[in-house]
Amino acid sequence: RLQDLELAPLGDSDVHVKMLAAPVNPADINMIQGTYALLAALPAVGGNEGVGRVLRVGRRVAALAPGDCVVPADAGLGTWRTEAVFAEESLLRVPADVPLLCAATLGVNPCTAYRMLADFEALQPGDSVIQNAANSGVGQAVIQIAKASGIRTINVVRDRPDLPKLVERLMSLGADHVVTEETLRKPEMKAIFQSTPRPRLALNGVGGPSATEMLRHLRPGGTMVTYGGMAKQPVTVPVSAFIFRDVKLRGFWMTQWKKDQTHDKEGLRSMMRSLCELVRKGQLGAPACTQVPLEDYRAALEAAMKPFTSSKQILML
């Protein structure tokens, strides 16, 4: 529900932030449902991502100043609110020239895409990546970051009534190939591999048969990274893929990666600088967004849970 809360007093190491925009991500929904690995102590404010502007700072705050734009450094802050007092260490400054919707959606999906492309296989220009859920926020970021690095992408989506429109959008972002899950099982895939090398990396945000079929196209010794399970079905791998093709299966959770950086946030800051630079160069944009006033949050939550949703709901605060 929407309600007024009393603002916490500003401590010496605290920052008073006016929130500007915050997206509705699948993980936010899962936290509310109680099915996510990270659960807030109740009562709680929803939202793990967003952007705000600093209004005031405590006398011991050194890295932030009034007027700075900030995003959460970690999950669990509760960003679906108009303003709040946060600890300085829980925030990261972002350059003021990063567009509002880019900044609001920078901390989860693009970071996930960046880390998966960088941390599991030593990809070089000309290599390829295959991914399902290619129209998701992560998928759109993968396409753009890979394109900027000279890496080709094979993008898998579910068949849908507006498929040509979706294919056109993903191609405009820099996708090299867009196929449906059904196409993964068909001979048409051979034509793709005449011009594009078999992928060394597969990114799985769906699970179930989609992951199994995608895995079949991975080159020997390649890696499949699972970061989501939208199908709510297990990942099934043929024994032959392990024995004869030596594929590797890994998992990735952005929240855990950020927790691992607690004592040294330079890796996080470096990644954010790289992503902001891509934004400045026009190589990384916000996903397709629908802006919703905070008072209409119920409509945003309902829209975020509908199937075949390619537009991210953004609460404007």
pLDDT digits (tens, 9 = 90+) for 161-209: 999 999 999 999 999 999 999 999 999 999 999 999 999 999 999 999 9
Q: What CATH architecture does domain 109-254 belong to?
A: 3-Layer(aba) Sandwich (3.40)
Give the start-to-end residue ranges of the domains of the chain: 14-105+287-316, 109-254
Name the average pLDDT for the chain: 96
| Residues assigned a catalytic role | 36
pLDDT per residue as tens digits for the range 31-78: 999 999 999 899 999 999 999 999 999 999 999 999 999 999 989 999
- Answer yes or no: is pLDDT of 243 > 90: yes
pLDDT band at 97 (very low <50, low <70, confident <90, very high): very high
Check if the beta carbon of residue 152 is closer than 8 Å to that of residue 174.
no
Residue 175 confidence (pLDDT): 98
pLDDT per residue as tens digits for the range 120-145: 999 999 999 999 999 999 999 999 99
Q: Mean pLDDT across the stretch 266-293? A: 96
Beta-carbon contacts of residue 226 (< 8 Å; ≥ 6 apart): 204, 205, 207, 211, 235, 249, 250, 251, 252
- Answer yes or no: is pLDDT of 265 > 90: no
pTM, whole model, 2 decimals?
Answer: 0.96
Residue 289 confidence (pLDDT): 94
Secondary structure (3-state) at 81:
coil
Q: Mean pLDDT across the stretch 85-110? A: 97
CATH of domain 14-105+287-316: 3.90.180.10
pLDDT band at 263 (very low <50, low <70, confident <90, very high): confident
Count of C-beta atoms within a 10 Å radius of residue 228: 19
Rounded to an integer, what distance in angstroms lies between the CA atom of residue 106 and that of residue 162? Answer: 27
Beta-carbon contacts of residue 252 (< 8 Å; ≥ 6 apart): 112, 115, 116, 119, 120, 225, 226, 227
Residue 273 confidence (pLDDT): 96
pLDDT band at 264 (very low <50, low <70, confident <90, very high): confident
Q: Are strands 128-131 and 152-157 parallel, antiparallel or unpaired?
A: parallel
Residue 123 confidence (pLDDT): 98
Residue 250 confidence (pLDDT): 98
Residue 309 confidence (pLDDT): 74
Please state whether 67 falls in left (phi above 0), alpha (psi between -120 and 50) or beta: left
